[in-house]
């Protein structure tokens, strides 16, 4: 049996009251559990924004390119990229990275599908366990 590891986190946070793109992007990422208090220099947010810009330009970026653009170490870039990949938002193609789909709405729709698939698997296994336990 092959297990695909994906960590989907949804944090229920109040939406920003103002229509400010930066605040809304922060809210979106925080709601997906990507940005936390430990990330003091908002490096994960900056990586995410750079990948969003590259998606708009229809370009993939390597970790070295991200490192140079954001003035972050390659190790920091790889750490955040791995979190974004694990959450299902970013894919690795060749030696470069890109958002899983071309826009944020589609990205959230894909995450929603992932959640539904995970819940269906959970229900199926729960039903089998219930039957075995006579519940």
Domain ranges of the chain: 17-100, 102-135
Least Cα distance to 34 among 24, 45, 23 occurs for 45
H or E segment to which residue 70 belongs: helix 63-70
Q: Do the beta carbons of residue 107 and residue 100 sit within 8 Å?
A: yes
Least Cα distance to 83 among 38, 132, 18 occurs for 38
Q: Do the beta carbons of residue 77 and residue 70 sit within 8 Å?
A: yes
Predicted TM-score of the model (pTM)? 0.81
Instruction: Please tell me the number of Cα atoms within 13 Å of 113 on its side-chain side.
Output: 8
pLDDT of 4 reads 61
Tens-level pLDDT at each residue, the chain (135 residues): 545 678 888 889 899 988 899 899 989 988 988 877 677 678 899 999 999 999 989 899 999 999 999 999 999 999 999 999 998 899 998 899 999 888 899 999 998 999 999 999 999 999 999 999 999
Q: Does domain 17-100 have CATH number 1.10.10.10?
A: yes
pLDDT of 37 reads 61
């Amino acid at each position: 049996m092959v297990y695909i590891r994906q960590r989907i986190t949804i944090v229920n946070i109040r939406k920003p009251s103002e229509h400010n793109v930066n605040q809304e992007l922060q809210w979106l990422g925080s709601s997906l559990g990507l940005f936390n208090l430990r990330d003091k220099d908002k490096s994960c947010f900056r990586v995410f924004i750079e990948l969003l810009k590259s998606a708009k330009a229809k370009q993939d970026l390597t970790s070295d390119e991200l490192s140079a653009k954001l003035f972050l170490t390659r190790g920091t870039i790889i750490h955040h990229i791995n979190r974004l990949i694990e959450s299902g938002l970013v894919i690795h193609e060749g030696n470069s990275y890109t958002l899983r789909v071309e826009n944020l709405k589609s990205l959230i729709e894909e995450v929603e599908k992932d959640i539904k698939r995970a819940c269906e698997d959970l229900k199926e296994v729960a039903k089998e366990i219930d039957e075995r336990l006579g519940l």
